[in-house]
């Protein structure tokens, strides 16, 4: 898969699952549940430049993806595990999986480009 395509899928996953997590659950809404949504929107905004193979944008998207991956593992996943919410664990795990897949594709792309030059 090409980096711009997996980035698009990752952005849509972060936005949709982040909104789902925000609106699902108890009456008290936590603004931190929208962090994946904001990252997803930023990645989506950078999609066109990424599709045009802009190296700087590629590196920015990788950094954003890594940050959101670390953030998802550090707090939301552990919170969902502590609460025992199976749907929440699944939702956060799918966002983590999406970020991991995106990082793998980006790293493979960077290696391939490095070997080509």
Listed by start position, the domains of the chain span: 3-116
Q: Is 13 exposed, middle or buried (0-12, 13-18, 19+ CB in 10 A)?
A: buried
Q: Is 26 exposed, middle or buried (0-12, 13-18, 19+ CB in 10 A)?
A: exposed
Per-residue model confidence as pLDDT tens digits over 60-113: 999 999 999 999 999 888 888 898 889 989 999 999 999 999 999 999 999 998
SS3 content of the chain, % helix, strand, coil (to 5): 85, 0, 15
Confidence (pLDDT) at 26: 62
Confidence (pLDDT) at 76: 87
| Mean per-residue pLDDT of the chain | 92
Evaluate if residue 115 carries a pLDDT over 60.
yes
Exposure string for 91-110, b = 16+ CB within 10 A, e = fewer: bbbebbebbebbbebbeebe
Contacts of 57 (CB under 8 A, 6+ apart): 46, 49, 50
When pLDDT is averaged across residues 20-25 and rounded to a whole number, the result is 84
Evaluate if residue 19 carries a pLDDT over 90.
yes
In this prediction the pTM is 0.91
Kindly report which listed range (8-12, 22-26, 71-75) carries the lowest average pLDDT score. 22-26
């Amino acid at each position: 898969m090409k980096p711009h395509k997996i980035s698009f899928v990752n952005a849509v996953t972060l936005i949709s699952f982040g909104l789902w997590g925000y609106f699902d659950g108890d009456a008290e809404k936590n603004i931190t549940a929208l962090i994946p949504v904001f990252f997803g929107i930023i990645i989506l905004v950078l999609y066109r430049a990424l599709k045009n193979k802009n190296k700087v944008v590629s590196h920015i998207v990788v950094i954003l993806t890594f940050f959101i991956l670390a953030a998802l593992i550090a707090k939301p996943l552990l919170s969902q595990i502590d609460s025992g919410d199976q749907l929440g664990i699944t939702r956060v795990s799918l966002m983590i999986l999406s970020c991991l897949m995106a990082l793998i594709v980006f790293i493979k792309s960077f290696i391939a480009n490095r070997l080509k030059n």
